[in-house]
Structure 1
Amino acid sequence: MTTGKESVALVRSEVRRRSQVLGTQVISQANAARLGVVSEVWADLEARQVLVLGVLEKAFAGSPRFLELRQVTALGQDAILVPSDEVFEDLELEGLSRVVGSEVITEEGIRLGKVKDFEFNSVSGLITGLILSNLGLTFLPGFILSTYLLSADEIVSIGGDRLIVADGAETRLAQLTKGILETLGLGKPSWLVDTGSAPALPRAVDEPAVEENYEEVYDEEYEGEEEEYPEAEPEPQAEAAPPRRPEPAPAAEQPEWEQEYVKAEAPPSEPAPDSAPAAPSSPLDRDPWEENTGEPT
């Protein structure tokens, strides 16, 4: 990837961001010709260093030409100066990364977000910090979605588009901006969504020493009272009465109209047989007074 040309020292060293370099025009010091604008920044994440700048002759048109960072003589806010137009070379970008969009996860498996931007030294190209947001979208400004700065020293390993950082890195983040979404409670940082601030649930005391101490205090406090008040003897319980036999229910009284109906339907009674003729009375049964009634004396 090297061109064999000697590197040119920059006028001064300063920390620049990728977003600040993109769109900056590249000018030749030899003839002051405008060579194009920076369209991309490529870095070696294993070495944590920016190596190549992609330059388009016209913004959003054509294919980019590649320029090594070490060929830059001045990396200013408004222009990037190079010795001449001969600094562009066909370079292999295998193993290099745009860095932006890479997901950042701690060794404990806590997601910190995605890389939205990064800071690097304008002379050495060493990456000093990663700027994270929940989505990692470069077109969303910081006043909409909160951004955080993570030191590049926290990087432990790199794999594809994913960065693994040290345990507890979420506690060492520096918040750069607070977005409107976070203010409204919608853009809460991803590492705080899982933990949250929910109140702790009550739990039983696991220390047996606390229970033993409580029992000792209770025994000392109520020991005297238990001696003054002896336990009462249980009162004799009354014998249970034998179960009572159920009484038969009284017969239902027959309605008056049914009684009349029964009388009407009843068959007529047979006449009683004639009584036998009276036997003649004996003289002894007669009343002498009845015989003499009406006769003169």
Structure 2
Amino acid sequence: MTSEQIRQRSDLLGTQVITRNTGKRLGVISQIWVDVDRREVVAFGLRESILSGVLSSDQKTMLLDSVRQIGDVILVDDDSAIEDDVNVEAFSSLIGCEVITETGELLGKVRGFKFDAENGELTSIVIASLGLPFIPDQVVSTYELSIEEVVSSGPDRLIVFEGAEQKMMQISVGLLERMGIGKPPWERMEDEYIMPTPVSNQLGTGVRETAPAPVRTVAPARETWDDDAWEEPAARPMREPLRQRQAEPEYYEGDGGWQEAPEAPYKPQEAVYDVEYEDALEDDVWEDDDNPEPYRAPQVNIPERQRVVEYEEEDY
């Protein structure tokens, strides 16, 4: 693809269309229609003059396939190059479309584009902060971006890869940028300052506040037996035995007054048994008794039955 085949949109606007067989003037190029999905130029819009579009809406359409040569004028074979059944509403002019990255960063608006004059394939787009082609390049800064950076397209919008601003080539430097005031759109977004709002003036979120959930306490883990890290439990302190209450001394009245009675000597008390076990052990407990005593059943007190008198109702 040579540089002679690459044409810029602004260079073709206002170019006259002439027929080869008769040299008849069909009009001038007033619009270039692009198939965004295929990314190629498909048709041209023709009017009697470049200013007639402002005064009237009458516009003729010519397909790119009808063009035979592009130079100072555009040559076509004959009057049949004008198509009456072309629906230009399915195409786009790309002028004024926003160019944003995948992350939503605005790079600018489409001001123009370049394409291959033989097959109509788009090669690049021209971006500026304002998508108005009639503003001179000396006023606004313009940048060129390859069409390969475009990921997808939508209504009046082109989406490019993230970081595409680093691949753009600057074509012209605008007046504000030469004065050190203006900046590219993506740099201005980074320098924007948002004034903080006082907390007292902020509105509520509208979400009902819920009470905090109760804190759950976890029971301490029980100690487990470990043969390697075994320690002997600490000895419990010995409790002192309780003191027994001593017997109070006894007093008696003597010749010299009350005197303390002498303590009686201790005498161990002999155990008294009702049954002599030595004699009982000599007898055989399983031996039958020769003179058994007769069995006497205990007396049972059964109450006597009393007669209950029933009364009969008397008739009066």
Gapped runs of 5+ residues in structure 1? 1-11, 199-297
2:74 is aligned with 1:80? yes
SS, match of residue 144 in structure 2: strand
Measure, in 2, the Cα distance between the counterparts of 1:111 and 1:34.
42
SS, match of residue 186 in structure 1: coil
1:83-98 equivalences in 2 (<5 Å): 83-90=77-84, 91-98=86-93
Measure, in 2, the Cα distance between the counterparts of 1:80 and 1:121.
15
List per-residue Cα deviations over 1:100-123 (Å, max 9, x = no partner).
110000001111000001000000
Offset, 1:94: 3.0
SS, match of residue 7 in structure 2: strand
Matched-pair contact (CA < 8 Å) for 1:13–1:123: no
Offset, 1:167: 0.7
**TM-score of the two chains, using structure 2 as the length reference:** 0.57
Offset, 1:183: 1.6
In proportion to residue count, which structure has more helix?
A: 1
Measure, in 1, the Cα distance between the counterparts of 2:191 and 2:10.
32
Report percent identity of matched pairs: 42
1:20-99 equivalences in 2 (<5 Å): 20-61=11-52, 62=56, 63-76=58-71, 78-90=72-84, 91-99=86-94
Gapped runs of 5+ residues in structure 2? 194-316
Measure, in 2, the Cα distance between the counterparts of 1:95 and 1:32.
32
Measure, in 2, the Cα distance between the counterparts of 1:188 and 1:149.
16
Matched-pair contact (CA < 8 Å) for 1:36–1:59: no
SS, match of residue 80 in structure 2: helix
Offset, 1:64: 1.2
Question: Which amino acid is 2:143 matched to?
Answer: Y
Offset, 1:59: 3.7
Question: In the alignment, which residue of structure 2 is the partner of 1:137?
Answer: 132
Q: Kindly report the root-mean-square deviation, in angstroms, between the aligned alpha carbons of the 2 structures.
A: 1.8
Measure, in 2, the Cα distance between the counterparts of 1:99 and 1:110.
19
Measure, in 2, the Cα distance between the counterparts of 1:44 and 1:56.
21
Question: Which amino acid is 1:82 matched to?
Answer: V
Question: Which amino acid is 1:151 matched to?
Answer: S
Whichever of the two has the greater Rg, that structure is 2
Counterparts in 2 of 1:149 and 1:101: CA distance versus 1, 3 Å: same
SS, match of residue 17 in structure 2: strand
1:187-226 equivalences in 2 (<5 Å): 187-196=182-191
Runs of 4+ aligned structure 1 residues displaced above 2 Å come to 57-62, 194-198
Question: In the alignment, which residue of structure 1 is the partner of 2:212?
Answer: none
Counterparts in 2 of 1:177 and 1:59: CA distance versus 1, 3 Å: closer
Counterparts in 2 of 1:29 and 1:127: CA distance versus 1, 3 Å: same
Matched-pair contact (CA < 8 Å) for 1:145–1:187: no
2:160 is aligned with 1:169? no
Measure, in 1, the Cα distance between the counterparts of 2:184 and 2:107.
8
Higher relative contact order (CA 8 A, sep 6+): 1
Matched-pair contact (CA < 8 Å) for 2:69–2:76: yes
